[in-house]
């Protein structure tokens, strides 16, 4: 491979101990074991009349590389195959090979992506149409303060929060939190443990937040991996009291302090009058503890979009006021307006879940609010990968997530923040692919991109916030065989992710390293191999920062499929298993 191609693989130096990233050019010798294969589609450079011969040659080459051909196509000059990831670079370096692409999956089109979920780009990659397979928000609990939630709805039940400290139906407050049998939230309107929905409004909002994906039914939510904590504060008729709202916030904060990762509230209700300082203080206290609040701006707007009509609690400083948009990206005629509107989201004709296992299409800023609540859950879940830290040492990362949501909106209406749409239309994909650590400098015009110099130092990545619980992956600890030499604990690849930086021009590969207890390891040397549309970009080495992240950057990355293999991880006192499937990652950029 030419040095010109290799020069595109420029590494961000992320080591806290001053190690320089280095580039080697050997083919990968370790990684996924040979019996771990991936499905690919391989295009051939051939004329139609010679396609059969070219396919035969390719099949032989694939077999020699340890792979197996599944299909030889006549409609296009290509074959499909399963082969070890180490073989991909060899194929791409063959002048007879036009491309190698991941073999994607398809599903029967039974589950629907509502237009609002599509509009806010609640997808890992909007070009893939893969929201149904997406589990954004995993590990986050969203408290839905509303009319309750249909606890048995088939599109919600798998994502219903279950209190592990309670034994259902025994009439005992097992976790001693003051609420008997609060298995899934609480009914503050009726003062009992049955938070089931007898109105419909809360179930609809919950579906927009976190309806289950990849289940072949119904709809999918903005955060289909998040959990829903039903908090019933509204009656069957849709009414409620602010005293119950305060009690509900008290409960949510107490559950968070008891270890539940409930860091988002969705508030699709409101009042035209300010209820006073007590309610405001309750929202403020929960926000100070790191809980971000999203609230419907209100449905009191006029056709001209004039005046101050945002209701409460949306008007509070600690609450994000959400306006409503139509499918045409215009303001919904009912959407309240005012200086405190911060963000807009789809709210007209939104399809979502409904009590009794059904679905319904309704409108309101109440429908817009849960889109943003789901988006907030996704960012909370991905805070580590997005380098979101508690920079101001206040409110946890709630205000940083809030700022990222606002900074990545699509500007609608008058240029800049306005009273109709706030900062603009929610764009979750932009938020998820915008680096939170300021590693891209001023982003300038980049000139001709030259040789990219040292490409900056990617910032110091903040102070690591509260670091979540996230201590999964702690398996493999029984590896000892009783020999004389002590068996070192494993160091593992926790996640590999791709992120668009420099206004989408550069590909950043992020590899997070943890030990078996889920602790992120700083100063760990990580070596990867990157293969993409232009072939083998070579091997590269850098060290992890205090978040356990090793960052690699490919300048002016061509769109297409990229394959990352972690070849080696070196840190004193640990051993690395090169055959762990998590060492390999493939996705589109």
Q: What is the pLDDT of residue 35?
A: 55
Contact 223, 263 (CB under 8 A): no
Residue 6 CB burial class (10 angstroms; 0-12, 13-18, ≥19)? middle
In contact, 179 and 251? CB cutoff 8 Å: yes
Confidence of residue 534 (pLDDT cuts 50, 70, 90): confident
In this predicted structure, what is the pLDDT of residue 302? 94
**Integer Cα distance of 499 and 122 in angstroms:** 15
User: What is the reported pLDDT for 131?
Assistant: 44
Indicate which residues carry an active-site annotation. 146, 201, 366
Running DSSP on this structure, what letter comes out for residue 333?
T
Q: Could you report the per-residue pLDDT of 284-308, keeping only the tens digit for each?
A: 999 999 999 999 999 999 999 999 9
> How far is C-alpha 299 from the chain's CA centre?
30
The pLDDT tens digits of the residues spanning 203-252 come to 999 999 999 988 889 999 999 999 999 999 999 999 998 988 998 999 99
Alpha carbon separation from 312 to 167, 336, 367, 421, 464 (Å, rounded): 37, 11, 16, 17, 34
Q: What is the CA radius of gyration of the chain?
A: 26
Across the chain, mean pLDDT equals 82
Which stretch, 46-55, 84-93, 349-358, has highest mean pLDDT? 349-358
Tokens of 325: 């948009």
Backbone φ and ψ for 207, nearest 5 degrees, come out as: -65, -40
Tokens of 466: 């509260």
The per-residue pLDDT for 234 is 95
**Which residue shows structure tokens 């998820």?**
432
Separation of alpha carbons 252 and 272, rounded Å: 25
Instruction: Outline where 486-581 has alpha helix (H).
Output: none
Give per-residue pLDDT as tens, 457-490: 333 333 333 333 333 333 333 333 334 456 899 9
Query: 86 by DSSP, 3-state: which?
Result: helix
């Amino acid at each position: 491979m030419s040095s010109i191609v290799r020069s595109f693989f420029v590494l961000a130096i992320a080591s806290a101990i001053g190690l320089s990233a280095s580039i080697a050019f050997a083919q990968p010798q370790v990684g996924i074991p040979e019996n771990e294969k991936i499905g690919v589609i391989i295009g051939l450079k051939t004329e139609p009349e010679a396609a059969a011969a070219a396919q035969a040659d390719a099949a032989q080459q694939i077999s020699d590389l340890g792979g197996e051909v599944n299909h030889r196509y006549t409609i296009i000059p290509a074959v499909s195959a399963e082969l070890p990831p180490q073989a991909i670079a060899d194929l791409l370096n063959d002048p007879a090979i036009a491309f190698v692409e991941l073999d994607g999956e398809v599903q029967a089109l039974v589950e629907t992506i509502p237009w609002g979920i599509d509009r806010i780009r609640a997808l890992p990659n909007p070009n893939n149409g893969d929201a149904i397979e997406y589990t954004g928000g995993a590990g986050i609990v969203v408290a839905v303060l509303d009319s309750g939630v249909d606890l048995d709805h088939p599109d919600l039940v798998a994502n219903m929060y279950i209190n592990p400290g309670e034994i259902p139906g025994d009439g005992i407050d097992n976790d001693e939190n003051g609420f008997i049998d609060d298995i899934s939230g609480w009914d503050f309107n009726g003062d009992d443990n049955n938070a089931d929905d007898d109105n419909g409004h809360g179930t609809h909002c919950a579906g927009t937040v976190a309806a289950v994906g990849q289940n072949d039914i119904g709809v999918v939510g903005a955060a289909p991996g998040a959990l829903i904590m039903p908090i019933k504060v509204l009656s069957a008729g849709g009414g409620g009291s602010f005293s119950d709202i305060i009690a509900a916030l008290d409960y949510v904060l107490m559950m968070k302090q008891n270890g539940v990762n409930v860091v988002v509230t969705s508030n699709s209700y409101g009042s035209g009058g300010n209820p006073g300082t007590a309610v405001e203080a309750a929202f403020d206290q929960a926000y100070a503890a790191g809980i971000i609040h999203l609230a419907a701006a209100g449905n009191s707007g006029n056709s001209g979009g004039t005046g101050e009509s945002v209701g409460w609690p949306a008007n509070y400083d600690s609450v994000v006021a959400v306006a409503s948009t139509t499918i045409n990206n215009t303001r919904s005629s009912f959407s309240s307006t005012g200086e405190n509107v911060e963000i807009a989201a789809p709210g007209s004709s939104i399809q979502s879940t409904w009590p009794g296992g059904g679905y319904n299409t309704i409108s309101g800023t109440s429908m817009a609010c849960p889109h943003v609540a789901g988006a907030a859950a996704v960012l909370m879940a991905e805070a580590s990968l997005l380098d979101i830290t508690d920079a101001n040492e206040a409110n946890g990362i709630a205000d940083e997530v809030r700022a990222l949501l606002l900074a990545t909106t699509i500007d609608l209406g008058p240029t800049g923040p306005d009273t109709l749409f706030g900062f603009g239309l929610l764009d979750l994909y932009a938020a998820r692919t915008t680096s939170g650590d300021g590693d891209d400098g001023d982003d300038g015009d980049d000139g001709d991109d030259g040789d990219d110099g040292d490409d900056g130092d990617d910032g110091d990545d903040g102070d690591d916030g509260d670091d979540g619980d996230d201590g999964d992956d702690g398996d493999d600890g029984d590896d000892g065989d009783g020999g004389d030499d002590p068996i070192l604990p494993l160091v593992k690849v926790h996640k590999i992710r791709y992120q668009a930086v420099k206004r989408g021009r550069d590909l950043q590969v992020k590899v997070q390293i943890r030990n078996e207890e889920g602790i992120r390891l700083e100063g760990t040397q990580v070596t990867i191999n990157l293969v993409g549309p232009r072939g083998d970009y070579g091997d590269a080495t850098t060290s992890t920062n205090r978040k356990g992240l090793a960052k690699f950057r490919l300048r002016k990355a061509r769109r297409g499929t990229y394959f990352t293999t972690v070849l080696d991880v070196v840190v004193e006192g640990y051993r690395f298993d090169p055959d762990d499937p998590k060492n390999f990652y493939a996705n589109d950029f």
